[in-house]
Amino acid sequence: MSYKKLAAGSDHAGFALKQEMVAYLRSLGYEVTDHGTHTEQSVDYPDFAHPVASAVEKGEAELGLLICGSGNGISMAANKHAGIRAALCWKPEIAELARQHNDANIISLPARFISTDEAKACIDKFLNTAFEGGRHANRVNKIPC
């Protein structure tokens, strides 16, 4: 895969992990646009999910990274966007399947339930796994309403 442009965002619960993951991704040569939040002060996760989803939707970023406490709320908000398939991942195998079978274009991580090393492993699998297409393409094409 040759993904190089990523969009990232988190709420307050995901802020610290997002900071670590953005630094990690940049150290690997990725261009990462950080859509916030930029502090641990309480915020609303949709305010950060929507800019990341919009960036992926418009092609300004090839893939996205979202992080909140459980990973659920932020991915629910992102999935309201046409063409967005945000997948909640907490193990590398789930991240791999999200790309292979679901053509996920945003990875969502649960900051309160995942270590830094687990998060890196999930991101690595997500970024280095291609969509298999084939029988999975028909299923993915049925996702939009």
The catalytic residue among 12, 35, 50, 68 is 68
Active site (annotated) includes residue 68: yes
Token pair recorded at residue 87: 């997948």
Provide the residue type at 96 as one letter.
E
Pairing mode, strands 63-68 and 86-88? unpaired
Question: Phi/psi of residue 129, each to 5°?
Answer: -120, 135
Provide the residue type at 127 as one letter.
L
Tell me which residues are annotated as active site. Answer: 68, 101
